[in-house]
Amino acid sequence: MAHSKALLVLENFIGGKFVPCSSYIDSYNPSTGDVYCRVPDSGKEEVEAAVKSAKAAFPIWSSKSPLERSQILNKLADLIERDLEAFAQAESKDQGKTITFARTVDIPRAVYNFRFFASSILHHTTECTEMATMGCVHYTSRAPVGVAGLISPWNLPLYLLTWKIAPAIACGNTVVAKPSEMTSVTAWMMCKLLEKAGVPHGVVNIVFGTGTKAGEALVCHPDVPLISFTGSTLTAQRITEKSAPHCKRLSLELGGKNPAIIFDDADLMQCIPTTLRSSFANQGEICLCTSRIFVQRGIYSEFLKRFVAEAKKWKVGNPSDPTVDMGALISKEHLEKVRSYVKKAQAEGARVLCGEGVDSLALPTGNQKGYFMLPTVIAKVKDESCCMQEEIFGPVTCVVAFDTEEEVIERANSVKYGLAATVWSSNVGRVHRVAQRLQAGLVWTNCWLVRDLNLPFGGMKASGIGREGAKDSYEFFTEVKTITIKH
C-alpha cells in the first residue's frame, strides 16, 4: 500500500525508555479511512519486560510519601494541560471524535483525573477501635499492592487511561497499562512527559497491542495482582476466566443499555437537548449513553416530533471542523455492526424516523471514505428486540411509550445491563422513588453526565464488578491490614 506521507510509528514505553517492537498493527484515521499510524503488536515478551520494570520500581515508589507522589501527579497534570491543544488534536484524529469534544471533555478530564487523585490521596484516614475490657486497640493500615495491570478502551482513550493510572500510582503502585490498539497515540504522547513530571523510571509502563495478545499476557502474568479493565462484557468474561487461577483482584467497568424515563411533567425545554446529547455525544460511543428512551404516553407524540426535528439538525462531518456535532465512528467494522442493528430493527417492523437509511449524509471531499453515520432515532420497537436489549455503542436510540410508573420501572430493568439511567420529572417524590428502584449504578435526574469523582462510579448486573472513585479506587489499589495491640 502506497503511503503519501510517512506514518506515525509508536513505540512501547518500558522502564522509562521507548522500545521498538518487532511487529506492528495498522491504525486508521476514522474520518478518512486511511492508515496513518503503526502501533506495536506486543505480546508475552514485551509484557514480561514491562512487568519486570514495574516490579523493580515498586520498592522506591511505594516508599515515597503520599505528598511526594501527589506533587508528581500535579506536575504531570500541568504538563498535559500545557499541551492540551496538541493532545486534543491527536485524540480527535485518532478516535474520530469532534475536536470540540476532545478539547472540552476528554483532555480536560484527563488533566483533572491526575489533579483529583493528587488531592484525594492526601485525605484518607484509617480506622481505629478500642476494646477497653480486653486492654486492646485495633487499627487498620493500607499499603500499595504491587504491579497493577490497566486495560483501557477506545472511546475515551486518554480520559479513561488516566482514570486508572492516576489512582494506581497515587496509592503507590506501579503500572503496566495497555490502551486500545485503535487509539494509542495520546497514551504515547503522555509517556514523553513522564520524566519531566518526575515520575521515576518503571513506575508507568505502557505496552501497545491487541487484547488477545498483549492484554491476555498481562492478565495471565503471575506478578500482576490487580487488573482494572474498562471495555466489553464479553472481554471481561475472558479476563475473569484467565485471571481465576491467580486469584487476582478485578475491577470491571463494562457496557450499558441505559434507559431515559421521561414523565409527562418533564421540562422538555431541558429534557430534549440533554437527551440528544446523552444519545449522540461522542457518536453514541460512551458506556453512559442513552439508548432506550421511555416517554409517558401523554407527551409521546410531541416529544418524538421535537426530538427527531432536533436530531436532524445535528451536523455530522470532519471532526476537525469546530462546527460539527458528531464525528466518525471508530472503525469500518464497528460502523457496519451499528448499521446492522438498524437493519434488524427495520426487519422486525420498527420505524426509523431519521438518520441511517432514511436521510442522506453529505460529507466533505476528504471524508468520503470515513466511518460516518447520522444520528438515528427508531420508534415502534418491541422491548425484546435486539435494539432494546443489546449494547449498540453508536448513534442509535429507540423511543417507546409507557403508561405507568410501575410498568416503566419493570421495562427499564428488563435488560442484562445496569450501568446508568436518567429520569425526567418535576415531581420530587417520584424521582426519588424511581431512582431507588432502577437497577443502575448511576441515576441522573433532570440532567446527564454530571459527575462528582468523589462518589462511586460503576454498574450492576452485566455492567461490571466494583466501583471507581475517590474512596473506591483507593480501596481497590491498596491492601488493608487490621493490627491489634494489647497493652
- DSSP codes of every residue in 327-392: ---S-HHHHHHHHHHHHHHHHTT-EEEESTTTS-----GGGTTS-----EEEES--TTSHHHHS--
Asked if residue 4 has pLDDT above 60, the reply is no
pLDDT, tens digit (0-9, with 9 covering 90-100), for 319-373: 999 999 999 999 999 999 999 999 999 999 999 999 999 999 999 999 999 999 9
**In the structure, what pLDDT confidence band is assigned to residue 1 with cuts at 50, 70 and 90?**
very low
User: How do the domains of the chain map onto residue ranges?
Assistant: 8-254+463-486, 259-445
Could you give the CA distance from residue 338 to residue 318 in angstroms, rounded to a whole number? 20
The beta-strand segments (E) located in 375-463 are 376-379, 396-402, 417-418, 420-424, 442-445, 460-461
Task: List pLDDT tens digits, range 137-164.
Answer: 999 999 999 999 999 999 999 999 999 9
- Asked: is 8-254+463-486 a CATH 3.40.605.10 domain? The reply is yes
pLDDT at 319: 98
**What's the confidence (pLDDT) of residue 487?**
87
Band (183; pLDDT cuts 50, 70, 90): very high
pLDDT at 233: 92
Q: What is the mean pLDDT of residues 13-19?
A: 98
Residue type, 209: G
Is pLDDT at 2 greater than 70 in this prediction?
A: no
Cell output for 252: 470491571
Distance CA 114, CA 76 (A): 7
Pick the CATH number of 259-445 from 3.40.50.300, 1.10.1200.10, 3.40.309.10, 3.40.50.880: 3.40.309.10
Q: What is the DSSP letter of 199?
A: P
Write the pLDDT tens digit of every residue in 189-221.
999 999 999 999 999 999 999 999 999 999 999
- Write the burial class of residue 45 (CB in 10 Å: 0-12 exposed, 13-18 middle, 19+ buried): exposed
For residue 472, name the pLDDT band (cuts at 50, 70, 90): very high
Query: Checking DSSP bridges between strand 12-14 and strand 128-131, what pairing results, if any?
Result: unpaired
Q: Answer whether 253's CB lies under 8 Å from 259's CB.
A: no
| Percent of the chain's residues with pLDDT above 70 | 99
What residue has cell string 499510524?
37
Q: What's the burial of 305, exposed, middle or buried (CB within 10 Å: 0-12/13-18/19+)? A: exposed
Global pTM value: 0.97
- Give the pLDDT of residue 178: 98
Helices assigned H by DSSP within 249-296: 268-280
What confidence tens digit (pLDDT) does each residue in 335-349 have? 999 999 999 999 999
By annotation, the residues acting in catalysis are 253
Q: What is the mean pLDDT of residues 370-396?
A: 98
Q: What is the pLDDT averaged over residues 85-100?
A: 98
Computed over every residue of the chain, the mean pLDDT equals: 97
